Structure 1
Amino acid sequence: MPLTETASALWITRPHTAEIRPETLEAPLDDQVLVRALYSGVSRGTESLVFNARVPPSEYARMRAPFQAGDFPTPVKYGYCSIGVVEKGPETLRDKPVFCLYPHQTRYVVPASVVVPLPEGLPAQRAVLTANMETAINGVWDASVQPGERLCVVGAGVVGALVAYLCAQIPGTRVHLIDINPERQALAAALGVEFCTPDNAPTDQDGVIHASGHGEGLRLGLSLLGSEGRLIEMSWFGEGDTALALGGAFHSQRLSIKASQVGQLPAALKPRWDYRRRLMLALELLKDERLDHLISGECTFDEFPQAAPSLFGPRSQALCHRITYPVTG
């Protein structure tokens, strides 16, 4: 490899606008790898806020992705679910498919320590769900789900569907996935989860996990809880206020609201868990082929700038959108 090469990356150049820009790559050092991207996944909730310049100034530092370039609001190179193959690097990694928390880019050089080989039995095409699975795992941990509980997950996007999928595998747990879109029933059925729309959602629930990203969903979730019930908030609303009526059942039934955010491990797990161990768990859990139902669309990297406004728009019904990359960067 020459001293420098070029790659191509997706940049959000101004609100609601993306373009592909050239990037210069330095030759990898002995402790680095050169990765050629195969696929990347779009984390639509967070990336929609970034694309539409709705990251609050107070969160600019906390919302930085590991290899983000530029600054909020724009121009910025953002993303964190890249699946690629190691072209150059230590022999133990060379030619292996890996996951990396990297933005949408054709090739990149990173420390060898930050890439994780995909386990045997996990197709690279499905591994684009890795970041979403990590988020879902953290949400289940934060919810402290117990066997036999009655739970509702509000919002059948990728994260909500994954949370419901994980909770439904806890013995005796009765889980309902709730969404305003009745077409999400097919997704729930494919994942082995009961489904309902808000008008027939069960009440007196032990817990609710909210992942719809809308205030209406949060208010619905609180209304479904029984006495001493807990709501785990997984949505990130970005700019703006969300109104809640806390003067009625919230106090009389001693309800609680707790935030879950993938950037922090639950305190009780920190003595034995770290981010890499959680990542390895996410990769193992993605071996279930039923999870392919969460990938709702695909486009090439060159098509991504034109697809982005619709994908990140308010009417989008996309789940996980997969980006495919050319054979050469």
Structure 2
Amino acid sequence: MKANALWTIAPQRAELREQDLAVPGPDQVLVDTIATGISRGTERLVFEGRVPESQWPAMRAPLQYGEFPFPLSYGYSAVGRVRAGAEALLGRRIFCLHPHHDAFVAPASMCIPVPDAVPDHRAVLAANMETAVNVLWDARPLVGERALVVGAGVVGLLVTFLLARMPGVELVVCDIDEGRRSIAESFGARFVAPADAPGDRDLVIHASASPAGLRLALSCCGFEGRVVEASWFGDKEVALPLGEAFHAKRLSLVSTQVGQVAPAMRGRRAYADRLALALSLLDDARLDALLGPAIPFKDLPQSLGTVLSPPPGDPQPLCPFVTYIYK
């Protein structure tokens, strides 16, 4: 059996490669891919070769092929249907943390059934929703808090979607892109430009992946407020105002990363539990606003650079996704 796979072979260069598929063992499944999601922040760093060598082990995708920096096949948002293997999953739609391949063999334990109410294309958001869930497990928001989300990318908006469900939370989203306003407001948050970001926040989630955004997040905190850093800067150094009011206001700066289940839930939830929860939370048609454009798999090597880093002035997509010819 053969499959086609996207490989990044050098900075900003990708190609499709044909490779052999193993016969699935008793605890594995063969999956025909329906769609994969592109995580623009992380996959841009990989595509451009900007993952620091010190972070290669931590940033390795669960089912990655090859090694950093190149060549490698990277990705972690695949939706497909099980063609062969473990009987309990035969014929079912699943989500798996797998790269962009048109078919693949994976451990059955890593293939989580997609709820019937969640369409194929929306299910590619599961990995990002899992990140948002983990962010909130680390943030531990409280009823009635004044919250601010800085950065209305996919993770920031999914955090907004979840935070807006908490009673009594005064929720504001801040971004430089006015085009994100309608989505944030549809989730139940107020949207502002950075210049209008409110202060005296109890909780700030920073998800802009920009030094200016993180500095803004710190400046908007009230006394004993906390900033949860949900973005990742790769090899970029960041200067922060840790003098000024940082100590007088007794601020907390907390890192969060989806590679580990947040300590608040680590003793009670496994990775599969967290991913299954993320999939269940996708049963909301408002989330479709995060998706697009759709890219045919055959065009992905030529389109990837543009969709990861659009030319200046072009719209910035949120979650592009790849479509496959279902076998």
Offset of residue 240 of structure 1 = 2.1
In the alignment, what sits opposite 2:64? Answer: 68
Q: What are the equivalent positions in structure 2 for 1:106-255 lying under 5 Å apart?
A: 106-255=102-251
> What is the TM-score when the length of structure 1 is the normalising length?
0.96
In the alignment, what sits opposite 1:11? Answer: 7
Q: Secondary structure at the match of 2:205?
A: strand
- Which region of structure 1 is more displaced relative to structure 2, 183-192 or 17-26? 183-192
- Determine which of 36, 39, 44 is the counterpart of 2:35: 39
- CA deviation vs aligned residue, 1:18-54 (integer Å, no higher than 9, x gap): 1111111121122221100000000111111000100
Q: Secondary structure at the match of 1:250?
A: coil
> What is the TM-score when the length of structure 2 is the normalising length?
0.97
Whether 1:94 and 2:90 are equivalent positions in the alignment is: yes
In the alignment, what sits opposite 1:325? Answer: 324
CA RMSD in angstroms comes to 1.1
CA distance in 1, matches of 2:171, 2:121: 28
CA distance in 2, matches of 1:243, 1:99: 38
- CA deviation vs aligned residue, 1:214-263 (integer Å, no higher than 9, x gap): 00100010110111110000111001210111110101111110001011
Q: Secondary structure at the match of 2:208?
A: coil
CA distance in 2, matches of 1:28, 1:136: 32
Offset of residue 166 of structure 1 = 0.6
Offset of residue 268 of structure 1 = 2.7
CA distance in 2, matches of 1:255, 1:190: 31
Offset of residue 318 of structure 1 = 1.2
The answer for unaligned runs of 5 or more in structure 1 is: none
CA distance in 2, matches of 1:191, 1:305: 34
The answer for unaligned runs of 5 or more in structure 2 is: none
Is the contact made by 2:164 and 2:187 (CA closer than 8 Å) also made in structure 1? no
Whether 1:262 and 2:258 are equivalent positions in the alignment is: yes
Is the contact made by 1:97 and 1:118 (CA closer than 8 Å) also made in structure 2? yes
CA distance in 2, matches of 1:193, 1:165: 8
Q: Secondary structure at the match of 1:8?
A: strand
Q: Secondary structure at the match of 1:26?
A: coil
Q: One-letter code of the match for 1:322?
A: F
CA distance in 2, matches of 1:27, 1:142: 40
CA distance in 2, matches of 1:31, 1:136: 30
Q: What are the equivalent positions in structure 2 for 1:269-308 lying under 5 Å apart?
A: 269-308=265-304
Is the contact made by 2:137 and 2:264 (CA closer than 8 Å) also made in structure 1? no
- Which region of structure 1 is more displaced relative to structure 2, 23-32 or 130-139? 23-32
Structure 1 residue ranges (4+ consecutive) displaced by more than 3 angstroms after TM superposition: none
